[in-house]
Amino acid sequence: MTQFDKKTILITGAATGIGRATARRFTDLGARIIIADLDGAGAEAAARDLPGGRARGLRCDVRDDAEVAQLRAAAGPVDILINNAAKPPITGPVIDTEITQWRDAFEVNVLGYVRMIRAFLPDMLTRGSGHIVNTSSGLALLPDPPIRFMGPYIASKGAQLSMSYAFFHALAGTGVSISVFCPGVTATSDRPGGPPPMGPNMPSPEDFRIGVPERRTVRVSAEHAAGVLVEGLIRGDFVICSQDGYLPDLIDFAEGNLDPQSIVRQAQAEAA
């Protein structure tokens, strides 16, 4: 028996990728899983793929207040809420990004998470127990140069980290806790080879290696990232990052006065 045995865990954006791998990992630990995804058929298929018959797949668009309310009614109270839904990260050169792209990223990656928390937190507070995970990004901790093509995404991921600080303090003493998951570069099932195909005016795969330490370009599997998340929750970590060696790099970044250029200098020194 594990600490997750018979716990109800709801994961958004879990029809594919890290979310789906996380659902499987928790199923193996005895949890009951609810997979919520904009792709309702995909959510149902992912749930059927999990052993034990304890999983459900439900459609939900986290941008829609009514759909989130419907999800809450269908799911009932949960023990762990994992906010994992996300807009695709790459939008092109940040100086050319349209305001609609910024709005779309925040609608899903920030307000969508807030909607989910507002829907499921009250039951946790009534029980005096529960846990929330907000999925940010390793790039919110270590802003490597490729974020110049990910303006809306990285801004929303930074907001997730900051709002999780706020919820951490707000929930102190309630019995409800919160973590931030920051995946590193991950080969998800829907993007096995890296960034999606690039169109005109979009970055090339090589653009994603410029100014980045080679070790931070190594892709891990979705299953590995899910394992790191589960291990971090077992330890009770606030920040959980699947980027190998992120903590020494984060310390170096802090000692560089959080100057993004210090990251580039580090990459150049390592390549020399």
Residues annotated as catalytic (active site), given as ranges: 153
Phi-psi domain of 158 (left: phi exceeds 0; alpha: psi -120 through 50; beta: other): alpha
Q: In the sheet that 55-59 helps form, which strands lie side by side, from edge to edge? A: 55-59, 32-37, 8-12, 80-83, 130-135, 176-182, 239-241
**Around 11, how many Cα atoms within 13 Å sit in the side-chain half-sphere?**
32
Matching residue, tokens 């169109």: 199
Hey, is 99 helix, strand or coil?
helix
User: Under a CB-based contact definition with an 8 Å cutoff, are residues 151 and 94 in contact?
Assistant: yes
Backbone angles phi, psi at 263, to 5 degrees: -70, -40
Classify residue 214 by its DSSP letter.
G
Hey, is 33 helix, strand or coil?
strand
User: Under a CB-based contact definition with an 8 Å cutoff, are residues 178 and 168 in contact?
Assistant: yes
